[in-house]
Amino acid sequence: MSDIDPHQRLIALLDSNDARYRIIEHEAEGRSEEISRIRGNDPAQAMKAIVASVRGGGLGKRNAMAIIPGNRRLDMKAFLAHVDAQKGRFAEPELATELTGCVMGAIPPFSFRKDLPLVVDGAFKNWDEVAFNAGRLDRSVFLAFEDYRKIVDPVFAPLSAAPES
pTM comes to 0.94
Nearest CA-CA partner of 102 in 143, 137, 154: 137
| pLDDT score, position 19 | 98
| pLDDT score, position 1 | 44
**Class of residue 16 by CB neighbours under 10 A (exposed 0-12, middle 13-18, buried 19+):** exposed
| pLDDT score, position 44 | 96
The pLDDT profile of the chain, 165 residues, written as one tens digit per residue, is 446 799 999 999 999 999 999 999 999 999 988 999 999 999 999 999 999 999 998 888 999 999 999 999 999 999 999 999 999 999 999 999 999 999 999 999 999 999 999 999 999 999 999 999 999 999 999 999 999 999 999 999 999 998 766
| pLDDT score, position 3 | 62
Coil/strand/helix, residue 43? helix
Domains of the chain from N-terminus onward: 6-158 (3.90.960.10)
